[in-house]
Chain A
Amino acid sequence: MLLYPQADGTLYVKHSQSKASSRHVEDSICLDDFAQPIQFMEPFTVYEVTPLRLRSAAMRGRSARDVLTYLRAYAQGPIPATLQRRIVESMSNCPAAGTKPQRQDLLPALDIHLSSQRSLRDYQVAAVDAFITSQGGGIVVLPCGAGKTVVGTAILAKLALPTLILVPNEAAAAQWLAHIRTWTDVAETSVGIDNGRTIKPITITTYQRLTARRRSGEFHHLARYREGAFGLVIYDEVHLLPAKLFRLASQLEAKRKLGLTATLVREDGRAMDVLTLVGPIVFQAHSVDLSKQGHLSPVVCKEIRIPLSDLDRERYARALPKHRHRIAADNERKFNVIRWLCAKHAGERILIMGHYTAFLQAIATRLGVPMLSGSTPHQTRLETYRRFRGGEISMLVLSRIANVAVDLPNANVAIQVSGLFGSRQEEAQRLGRILRPSGDPARFYSLVTANSIEEQHGLHRQKYLIEQGYTYEIVAYEELALN
């Protein structure tokens, strides 16, 4: 292994081919104990030394000297003074393990076991173990489709503590409920979606319900959740944790906090706050690795650049900058491309996703496929999802509601018509919709209006995925055999 420390404190690491031949076989510590991978760029992995990882290493009895000795053994250049200081500062004054009072010892244990017919994949077992052995809270990062719910359920079954599960929307809540029922032998009565009256030992609720207020300003449900004395709080899609909820969520006392996410990037730059609130990243798997192992479909990403029609171009040029995004997003010619792509992938399961609902509605009408948006009633949504899963319909048009926590495991083609400006998270989440292993290679098309603001947004949106090891192919409108 070669390690290149940078002046800004990041470490570029090049793993050697033969791990066995490494001369420091007896290292008492490894890189993942104190640093966290943030980018994958062949042949390097970029690591960041984070205070949280350092602290948890200190809690496990490692010293700053161990870390620095390790770094010196592998470093190919000077180790920056600031980095050395940060390591020493973060690792001193750390409470040793097991000094916190364990209030939850008084909590009743739950009678719950993982169903014997189900088995976890290797990396899922590793994720569960990593969380169980860590202290307090932690975040598990798994790509979309890699089974975050499975890992959450397995941890829940292993800890067997009263649990509160926070999810982003009702559809996700229903999925969790179904999942817990099929994967564990827990009694029907002790698990349920919160109905506002009784608290069950395993309660599933949404972030929205947690933050709902009465007119007087007090929170509807928070007090009830606090009385519930949960031993474990699971934050599903923890990257979505609304900023205003940070303070509230911190009031939910629990022995263990588990965060689940696929993309811990936030455009508001508050990813670190999430870490502080819930805990360090205890396990991380990368989609590229999982694709190689066959757990996720390999993906082909293409960005199609579509010019505006002459009329639209004139409108675009005249429009105020704040309106340009919309004109570029609702490029009429995108419709030709969508029709062409649908014909090309006829018989496959296609999701069409976009930002502005009016344009999406037009697409849905023209193609004659159902469309789901925020205004679609809850029951209709669940019903449509079910039909898609069952194969009754093979195409769906989805607004931003589909960005997260929708389980449509058989989709294999995604067409992104437009997006939320330069959101990296949205891009990754949408790609995640088609990452599940369905046999066919998955395809992700992003339609971008050429020579417009969308091109620059596209560059930014793709950054996270590119850093995770994906590649985009850029295709020009003229190259498509549209006729």
Chain B
Amino acid sequence: MRLAECLNHASVKTLRDIAVYQKLECAMYSKLDLMENILLNMRSNHQLEHLISAWCEDWGESFRRLALHSRTKFSKEEVRGLLRDTDQNALHKALSQGWLYANSIAEKRLVYVIPDEIRRAIQTHFRSQWMAERICRDDEPLLQYDEQMAMVQDMDTLLNYVANHDVRLTIGGAMYKKNVQQLMELFEVAEDLALPEWRFGYGRRVYDYPDRLALMYDFGFDHDMFIETPECQLQISQSAVDEWRATPRKVQLQRMYHYYLRIYRRPIPRLREVIETIRMVADEWVSSQSVFQICQCHIESFYYDTEWDVWEKRILRMLQHLGIIRTGFDGDEKEPVWFQITKLGQELLTQDEAHLPDEQEYRQASLIVQPNFEIVVTAQDSALEAQIAQFADLKSGGAMRIYRVLEKTVTRGLNAGHDFAKWRVLLAERGMGPVPGNVDRMFDEWAKGIPTTGTLTS
């Protein structure tokens, strides 16, 4: 909502209070005159900057939270909560300063709004203040960790792994270490399996798994893709997984990001604000320490995590996993020293699902069957890979996905009741070249379901 509109809806009394606060010399009885004068005053950049500084001093941190909130409309309770208003005075004071307006015309109920121009000016104000505080570098760090879409790829790997393997759970409901280790071998981004003793607060399974896997698993579980059976077995729900696979990949990643916000907001209540600040200042390589100082007012320690732990492990590291930022180091890499927001991150943070740019390349996924029984998938396509995984094992993930067909994987697929003939048709149709003769011949033999050694030993 624009400022002029807000003023138009305001009562003469409110306008008069604003004029007094802003020390305007005008006729206090004429609404038109008041409006014109206030508009004129607040349209002057110099005056507005002056006012914003005063408001910042008046309200401190709560002003920053309200003005930089992702929403522009607030209920009365929200405003009072944000302003830490114990009696009516604070709200009244805010309304008389010219940046917050009560409005009941546009909506059916009473809402409080910050006019668009004012909001933009406040953002610019903070932005330039932080830009002066942040420390940038001109050159590129030596080591750069940019995980891009690895999170959704590894999610696919996890789903395929559970679908095609017998995954048992402990009494506590966690996968056995053997399975987790195998998964780490297959994941594009592996994590350390040695977990510290104290772990809670960051999701349902964070006690059992390392952070990234825990987030992926919890996400899958909350979206009904995983089923923990009473017989301590982990299975997937085909319908939920099919629905997930029909979703565009960037949307998948964004949903995982939103899920991260939901889970991590409990221990870190002001996570949104921190990320919003990061988005504003980290368009270049910035020093982690300097941005930490800007965000420090939003970050509190959480039981076993210090403020710095929260910043480094729970925020930066997880944003890196989600492809939103890339981190950089020059030598010692115990903690992220530098980071920068990625193009993908900008998209995920600012666009809604319907407007996320689609990735054309992912539609053209095709595969190559090699004479050494490896299947190379050139671009990610989770539906295609799910089918391949019925009779092949993922050998290595990465920018390319390499599957390996073995006699035992074919036997496993046949035992699970998958259609081998249909699978071979898929290879022929989506393959960039014909299936090599030696591989095709071996498939013929395996299709008979007779193991090559078995016949003679019986």
Contacts and interface: CB of A to CB of B under 8 A. Distances in A.
B399 A5 contact: yes
Interface residues of A, number: 44
Nearest to A314: B456
B456 A452 contact: yes
A453 B453 contact: yes
Nearest to B400: A4
Nearest to B399: A77
A44 B453 CA distance: 33
Interface in B405-442: 433, 436-438, 441
B438 A471 contact: yes
Given A6-B399, A7-B188, A81-B145, A471 B372 contact: no
B335 to A, nearest CB: 14
Nearest to A308: B456
Contacts of A84: 143-145
Interface in A286-328: 303, 313, 316-317
B402 interface: yes
B441 A474 contact: yes
A76 B399 contact: yes
A7 B187 contact: yes
Interface string A3-25: 01111101010000000000000
Interface string B279-316: 00000000000000000000000000000000000000
B457 A6 contact: no
A474 B438 contact: yes
B441 A10 contact: no
Contact of B399 (A4, A303, A456, A462): A4
Given A5-B399, A6-B402, A78 B150 contact: yes
A397 to B, nearest CB: 28
A466 interface: yes
B456 A78 contact: no
Nearest to B402: A6
Q: Chain B's interface: helix, strand, loop or mixed, by majority?
A: loop
A68 B399 contact: no
Contact of A8 (B145, B396, B433, B455): B396
B148 A467 contact: no
A77 B148 contact: yes
A40 to B, nearest CB: 10
Given A7-B187, A8-B398, A44 B148 contact: no
A85 interface: yes
A102 B376 CA distance: 49
Contacts of B190: 7, 82
Interface string A66-109: 00110010011111111011001000000000000000000000
Interface in A57-73: 64-65, 68-69, 72
A133 to B, nearest CB: 28
A168 B452 CA distance: 37
Given A44-B376, A471-B371, A471-B438, A451 B398 contact: no
A317 B456 contact: yes
Interface residues of B, number: 38
A473 interface: yes
B142 interface: yes
Nearest to A84: B143
A455 interface: yes
Contacts of B433: 42
B143 A85 contact: yes
Given A456-B452, A474-B438, A68 B398 contact: no
B355 to A, nearest CB: 25
B397 interface: yes
A23 B328 CA distance: 26
Contacts of B147: 78
A200 to B, nearest CB: 46
A41 B398 contact: no
Residue of A64, A82, A466 with highest tally of chain B CB at under 10 A: A466
Given A85-B143, A471-B437, A5 B398 contact: yes
A80 B188 contact: yes
Interface in B144-167: 144-148, 150
Interface string B135-147: 0000010111111
B370 interface: yes
B455 A7 contact: no
11 contacts: A4-B398, A4-B400, A6-B398, A7-B188, A64-B142, A65-B142, A68-B142, A78-B188, A451-B455, A456-B453, A472-B371
Given A6-B396, A42-B433, 18 more contacts: A4-B399, A5-B399, A6-B400, A6-B402, A7-B186, A7-B187, A69-B140, A77-B399, A78-B399, A80-B189, A82-B190, A451-B452, A451-B453, A453-B453, A456-B452, A473-B437, A473-B438, A474-B441
The 8 closest A-B pairs by CB, nearest first: A77-B399, A6-B398, A4-B399, A4-B400, A7-B398, A466-B371, A7-B188, A41-B370
